[in-house]
Amino acid sequence: MVPPVTPVDPFDLVVFGATGDLSQRKLLPALYYRCAARQLPAEARILAVARRKLSDSDFRTVARKAIEKHVPPDDRPEPALAHFLSRIHYFAAPANDDAGWPELKSVLAEHPERIRVFYLATDPELFGPFCEKIAAHGLVTEQSRVVVEKPIGRNLKSAREVNDEIGRIFPESRIYRIDHYLGKETVQNLMAMRFGNILFEPLWNSAHIDHVQVTVAETLGVEERAEYYDTAGALRDMVQNHMLQLLCLTAMEPPTSLDADSVRDEKLKVLKSLVPITAENAADRTVRGQYRAGASPDGRVPGYSDELGRESHTETFVALRAQIANWRWAHVPFFLRTGKRLPERVSEIVVAFRHIPHSVFDGNAGHIVPNRLVVRLQPNESVKLWLMIKDPGQGGMRLQSRALNMSFAEAFGGRNPDAYERLLMDVVRGNQTLFMRRDEVEAACRGIYPALEAWGAEDEPPKPYTAGTWGPAAAIALIERAGRTWHEDEE
């Protein structure tokens, strides 16, 4: 079934950093798909901005290459691609110079009433300077909004400074901080499952849930992103944002509605309830690792420092035990782990229920395995509910653990739209539900960044792990010390 498409209102989207990696890999393909689905009204314009002097036609060639690389051939018939490219116009306008800005201004001034989106797909250090230039050239209207990517700041102090810089020009109601995990179909399904069914909510608490695991594993290394990555590391790149957002959606109280502030208020409460990592508890609650040369599904791969070209203490793997100090989650550990160059690409949330309080079965029934709900975010999006059932046939009451398995591809078929497609259209619609509010970002920094100080104080290099393995052995020890094991899919 083709999902219904509701066209958005006419808009001008200005993409700063248009020749960069994010724009090429994510934004242009996402806009292409929305255009091909006829969601963009005829008047909508895409104004690409970068430093280099290029003509419209030069930039369209760059954009064509990006789309040919990232969109499969069957999805890009030439007329659709040519039509999309014809809607893009290019401007050379840097953050530190006024050249090019008057041209951009005069094109925008043709439709002063229109929704205006400024997408800062640039180095975060340029968020402030670009916002200032946008304001100085009089481009901010009542209908303007700004979109920024992570990482926002390197620590709480710098996150506040970046937020202040953006906030001097745009009110919070018009700032869209992207965490692309929130736009993923299965991440939204977490809310659908929790709040669209009566089954789970009565059990969703420490009385019935033993622990929760969140894994985001990647097989890729850092490759050509090494320079950026070395300034971030896994904690800033993945944990402070994507992983904590997954934790929030799993742990938050039901919001009164799906409006932006109701949802974000509930997520904020979770972030504020995180028991902070401190110098005293970091060794027990966190593990950081860095990959060495080894094997990936694509063959032999170099280690992190070889890719970077120098030694570094930046972590490419983090495992941690988070604790949420509130009534619902008292004493329920949340185990998070993420890393580059792990054996498989898999993101999933595992909700592990408690043991049954009393067994009516005799010893021949076998071991009763506690129920688990496994939400697979990617790849092969699915929801599995592990249940005990009777082994069919003779031989008395023998039990086995089997999964009720709903694969999204089998149930719904079709293409799973990329998160950026939804998020870009939400910006145009003015819907902030799937974007992070300032206080959320700062609470996430407060909850998690003390780990950086604790690690810095230890001044030990991250623990090495061989590419193609599940991280340092200490990550296994971390969960085993708490009497649990990392989930392994048995089917």
Among all residues, which ones are annotated catalytic?
242
- Kindly state whether residue 210 participates in binding ligand BG6, applying the rule CB under 6 A: no
CB 465 within 8 A of CB 292: yes
Q: For residues 353-372, which are near ligand BG6 according to CB under 6 A?
A: none
**Cα separation, 162 vs 154, whole angstroms:** 10
What DSSP element (H or E) covers 56?
A: helix 56-70
CB 418, min distance to ligand BG6, A: 8
Residues 6+ apart with CB under 8 A from 431: 260
Give φ, ψ of 480 to 5 degrees. Answer: -70, -30
CB 347, min distance to ligand BG6, A: 6
**Cα separation, 346 vs 343, whole angstroms:** 9
In the list 12, 210, 218, 348, the residue contacting ligand BG6 (rule: CB under 6 A) is 218
Q: What is the token pair recorded at 185?
A: 């179909």
C-alpha radius of gyration, the chain, whole number = 24
16 vs 229 by CB, closer to ligand BG6: 229
**Cα separation, 248 vs 185, whole angstroms:** 16
CB 256 within 8 A of CB 378: no
CA 77 → CA 40, 71, 74, 483, 489, distances in Å?
17, 11, 7, 54, 39
218 vs 315 by CB, closer to ligand BG6: 218
Length of the chain: 491
231 vs 262 by CB, closer to ligand BG6: 231
Kindly give the pairing relationship between strand 286-292 and strand 372-378: unpaired
- Kindly state whether residue 12 participates in binding ligand BG6, applying the rule CB under 6 A: no
CB 111 within 8 A of CB 12: yes
Binding flags for ligand BG6, 313-352, as an x/- string (CB under 6 A): ----------------------------------x-----
CB 179, min distance to ligand BG6, A: 8
94 vs 151 by CB, closer to ligand BG6: 151
Q: What is the token pair recorded at 165?
A: 């810089």
- Kindly state whether residue 237 participates in binding ligand BG6, applying the rule CB under 6 A: yes
44 vs 451 by CB, closer to ligand BG6: 451
Q: What is the token pair recorded at 272?
A: 């504020």
Interface size with ligand BG6, residues (CB under 6 A)? 3
218 vs 307 by CB, closer to ligand BG6: 218
| 3-state SS, residue 381 | coil
CB 237, min distance to ligand BG6, A: 5
List contacts with ligand BG6 (CB under 6 A). Answer: 218, 237, 347
